[in-house]
Structure 1
Amino acid sequence: MAMNHIRSLRSIIITKEAVGVVGRRTFAAGGGKAKKGSKGCGASDAPKASTFSEEVKSTTVVGANILKDGIDPKVLPHSECPDWLWHLPDKHPALSELRRKNIETLPYEDLKRFVQLDNRARIKENNSLGANN
């Protein structure tokens, strides 16, 4: 059965003209003019000015609502926010920094991170060695 497909493919002759037609880039008809109500790109796709007032923007987290019937949450003062929120931007130490430290004195979280990063580095090194052969 496979031989029949190969024979039928061999019988197809592709001319240079046919290849040229396939390789050409074509554009949508209409000359680039977007019609009213069309879904195409055009000047109507430009970002629209916000309809929210400055007061609403400063007191609510606009766009944070994920529920259909919900409302956007209000911005809380710093004293009412949880403590973990202020530690989110803290950077984790890099592998080179963890290698310079004494492993026996590392806290559990840093030790766990060191093992993960070290394993990842060894796997990448072994993969690159295998790819070169």
Structure 2
Amino acid sequence: MAICSNLFRHNLITKEAGRVVGRRAFAVAGGKAKKGSKGGGADAPKASILSKEVKATTVVGANILKDGVDPKILPDSEYPDWLWHLLAKHPPLSELKRRNLEALPYEDLKRFVKLDNRARIKENNSIKAKN
């Protein structure tokens, strides 16, 4: 009988310890929270100390090296031509459908096939989901 009560008591103690250990407690920064405080007073973003000239001539935050400096902004002629085509907007599927497919450039035709296949797959999946 004594062995049984010891096992029972040990089991209760370990369960209770597991509950206590499993709980999380978050400490308030700087001791107790002030009344009426919205929290985040210490972590609020600070005003930038960089001058406008520095911001206009360098790519701030692009440095990945520990001892490096941020790269300078170069004139447009110093960058490769392909870079400026990255910002070009591609026509959507609805506009590609309205155009003559035989007159489309190869890149637009490739895009049309990809978008058309994607739209057909989505349509077939929605039909199968309804059934």
* TM-score, L = length of structure 1: 0.65
Distance 1:90 1:125 in 2: 29
Q: In the alignment, what sits opposite 2:86? A: 88
| Pairwise CA distance, 1:102 | 1.5
CA RMSD of aligned residues (A): 2.1
| Pairwise CA distance, 1:51 | 2.3
Q: Does 1:35 align with 2:33?
A: no
Q: CA 1:72/1:119 → structure 2, altered by over 3 Å: closer, same or farther?
A: same
Gaps of 5+ in 1: 1-26
| Pairwise CA distance, 1:115 | 0.8
Q: In the alignment, what sits opposite 1:67? A: 65
| Pairwise CA distance, 1:29 | 6.7
Q: In the alignment, what sits opposite 2:118? A: 120
* Aligned length, in residue pairs: 100
* TM-score, L = length of structure 2: 0.66
Gaps of 5+ in 2: 1-24, 32-38
SS in 1 for 2:42: helix
| Pairwise CA distance, 1:90 | 1.3
Bigger Rg, which one = 2
Distance 1:121 1:55 in 2: 48
Distance 1:115 1:66 in 2: 40
Distance 1:114 1:66 in 2: 39
Identity over aligned residues, as a percent? 73
| Pairwise CA distance, 1:28 | 5.4
SS in 2 for 1:130: helix
